[in-house]
Amino acid sequence: MKRFASHFLFLPAYGYLKQYAIETEEGIVVRFFPLTEEIENVEWLPGAIVLLTQNELKEPDTIFSLTNASRNLLITPPSFIDGSCGLMPAYFPNFDTATLLPAAGTRHKLLR
């Protein structure tokens, strides 16, 4: 089990959650929760963590597909999104908070 937190957690079909943490097992998100206080064994990553399906990860230009995604700021996660969805976390370190998009030329890194 590994835990990561970031300024933004992005669910491409729905929008953004601000200051959320994720918990992963073998590269798959099993849970995510608001980061309301400092928690032991959580790695802070400035930028954004994007939760993607396996099909989205296979797209040759993941960043391009994000430009067409919803950029709503969510208060709570959609109720049907949970650890059973098989989402995989990708980290985008250079993230533009004005446009809520990865900066041009940013490469993502899978969190495992």
Q: What is the pLDDT of residues 42-78, one digit of tens each?
A: 999 998 999 988 887 777 565 556 666 677 888 888 8
Check residue 109 and give its pLDDT: 85
Instruction: Please answer whether residues 19 and 5 qualify as being in contact, where contact means their C-beta atoms are separated by less than 8 angstroms.
Output: yes
Check residue 5 and give its pLDDT: 97
Q: What's the pTM?
A: 0.83
Smallest CA-to-CA distance from 72 within 12, 32, 20, 22 is with: 12
* Residue 82 scores a pLDDT above 70: no
